Structure 1
């Protein structure tokens, strides 16, 4: 009888510990997403300042980066192109620190609107979570800090191993590459695969509300 009581007690202790751990992970995940979204608000303010005076502005005093673009994903619906999620603000540099607050422009690639491969990376559990819903033909809309608007149309999506570096290779023509970890529903820290979205510049002006 005593053994059964001890076994039952251990069983309940395990259940309680697992519940506490699960709640802790949920709270941590919620905190990370809240931090990421609030950071985007501060980055947006810095971007708007740059549009006014053409000077780079840090989103907060201790930041070692600044916003370089505003990005919007547009999906084709029956009534025209509609935004997929809210606007995103892209930071200079795709370091781990920067990606915690927003998508990052890889400095080894081409700049916004320049000839070559413009590469933007983001986290799959926050800003680039929406990439799992994009389709061929959707539009990526980018605004530079000079107010220039550049449109890209999605031409391909693929999953590659983290060791596959061809997606980072320079291109002769203008090209946009978006990168995030894969799969989207597996949020462990070490992902072996990357989800790649490739897009080419277009001249058309999509209409949306």
Structure 2
């Protein structure tokens, strides 16, 4: 009986992170919509340390996630974050967005060169990027050309995708803005 109860408790703890991620996306979608309609940043909950700044989607994979400001550990628990020091999304320079491999960026294992990534900011700007490719790099050797002359999007997550512990490796995908024709 005690072992069954302990097993149920452990299973419940294991379900908390994915459940929190799903619930957070619902609250973040509401905050994103309110930010769009009011033109002012809106926190998804009063104690949040970040606000929605954009929505990222990958149509081929049916993925849509809210991107948060700040890049803090708390923000990363709830969604992808725009890494501090990045260029504004959709503007000249390199915008770096990071998220956990087992929740919001689990789709990155299926990302392919040529995939389109769409970014829609809270101010209504929309940019489309085409994935050029991806590579694995150590987190302490990760460098991005921050002064890109065109909008560039970098997506980063932990690697390998199926690992259950933290490690020094990151998977990085590079996407360049598509020209409007």
Query: Considering the TM-score relative to the shorter chain, is it more than 0.5?
Result: yes
Deviation at 1:173, TM superposition (A): 2.6
Residues 16-61 of structure 1, C-alpha deviations (whole Å, 9 max, x = no match)? 9999887655433321011011101101101101111101000001
Aligned equivalent of 2:75, options 98, 114, 117: 98
The alpha carbon displacement at 1:119 in A equals 0.5
- The CA RMSD measured in Å over matched residues stands at 2.2
Q: Which residue of 2 aligns with 1:53?
A: 38
| Cα 1:132–1:52 shift into 2, 3 Å | same
SS in 2 for 1:97: helix
Q: Determine if contact 1:138/1:154 at 8 Å carries over to the other structure.
A: yes
Q: Deviations over 1:96-149 (max 9, x none)?
A: 110000000012110112210001000001000010001100010010111111
Task: State the SS of the aligned residue for 1:146.
Answer: coil
Q: Determine helix, strand or coil for the equivalent of 2:141.
A: coil
The equivalent residue for 2:134 is: 157
Alpha carbons 1:117, 1:177 under 8 Å: kept: yes
Higher gyration radius (CA): 1
For normalisation by structure 2, the TM-score amounts to 0.91
**Counterpart secondary structure, 2:59:** strand
SS of residue paired to 1:47: helix
Match of 2:173 in 1: 197
Task: Pick from 90, 98, 105 the counterpart of residue 121 of structure 1.
Answer: 98
Q: Sort the Cα spacing of 1:140 and 1:34 in 2 relative to 1 into closer, same or farther, 3 A.
A: same
Contact 1:109 1:170 in 2 (8 A): no
Among candidates 154, 157, 169, match of residue 180 of structure 1: 157
- The normalised TM-score by structure 1 is 0.79
TM superposition outliers: structure 1 runs of 4+ over 4 Å: 16-26
Residue 24 of structure 2 is aligned to residue 39 of structure 1: yes
Structure 1: runs of 5 or more not aligned:
1-15, 76-83
Aligned pair count reads: 181
Distance 1:201 1:17 in 2: 57
Residues 17 and 105 from structure 1, CA distance in 2 versus in 1: closer, same or farther, beyond 3 angstroms?
Answer: farther
Match of 2:115 in 1: 138
Structure 2 contact 120–126 (Cα < 8 Å) conserved: yes
Given the superposition, is the C-alpha separation of residues 178 and 21 from structure 1 closer, same or farther in structure 2, using an over 3 Å criterion? farther
